[in-house]
Amino acid sequence: MSAIDELMRTAPVIPVIVIDDVAHAVPLAEALVAGGLRVLEVTLRTTAALEAITAMKQVPGAIVGAGTVTNPRELDAALAAGSEFIVSPGLTEPLGKAAIAAGVPFLPGIANAGDIMRGMDLGLDRFKFFPAMASGGLPALKALAAPFGNVRFCPTGGIGPDNAAEWLAFDRVLCVGGSWVVPKGAPDKAKVEALAHEAAALR
């Protein structure tokens, strides 16, 4: 089992986290881990993200990675902050080669067969299907997955508590990514932990 495969099988949902204030990072991570979601994707969409990754790594049980990594420079910054895995919205050869060379678990985004084939040429077989709902939803993923028997997916984008179970029922889906377990603003730890428990119980 590859490192990224193991991470994808840790819990049915990977929280997609946007941190605006570093002070929110640790309480959020504590609540998510307590609720059963240990694999945490912090998106590099804010200036606080890298510092938040470093802070969240101090939380026992948390496996913290960077999302929205789009080039080798961002990859280096994410690794320097302590990221244990890397998620990208897409796949380019420079980023793919840099992630493989770094030896870090890497989950690149794909939306079509050409993306998957480019990833497979690099030796990758675990992908984020993104944006999942806008790219045709579950029917599109089922059609896309059919020619690629060894490939497994983490759909992200438009997935919430109302449709996550349907995605997870497809045997080629190992987990889903979602932001619904992390409401915006200062974390209400009890609420986040309850949402995480519900998400962790999805299968």
Question: Look-up: residue for tokens 């999942």?
Answer: 132
Distance between CA 77 and CA 106 in Å, rounded? 15
Give Rg (Cα) of the chain: 16
CA 141 to chain CA centroid, Å, is 17
Is 128 an active-site residue? Answer: yes
Q: Are 189 and 30 in contact (CB under 8 A)?
A: yes
Which residue is catalytic, options 30, 57, 128, 193?
128
Taken as a whole, the chain contains a residue count of: 203
Residue 5 neighbours by CB under 8 Å, 6+ apart: 126, 152, 174
Q: Are strands 176-178 and 109-110 parallel, antiparallel or unpaired?
A: unpaired
Which residue is catalytic, options 30, 41, 74, 84?
41
Catalytic residues: 41, 128
